[in-house]
Amino acid sequence: MKSATVNLLDTPLPHLLAAFDVELVESSITDRGFFGALVERRDGGWVLSMPVGRPELERDTAARMLLGEVFGLSLSPVPDQIEVAVL
pLDDT digits (tens, 9 = 90+) for 15-54: 999 989 999 999 999 898 899 999 999 998 999 999 999 9
pLDDT digits (tens, 9 = 90+) for 49-86: 999 999 999 899 899 888 988 887 766 665 665 666 66
HSE-up (13 A, CA, CB side) for residue 87:
5
- CB-based contacts of 15: which residues, under 8 Å, 6+ apart? 6
User: What is this structure's pTM?
Assistant: 0.78
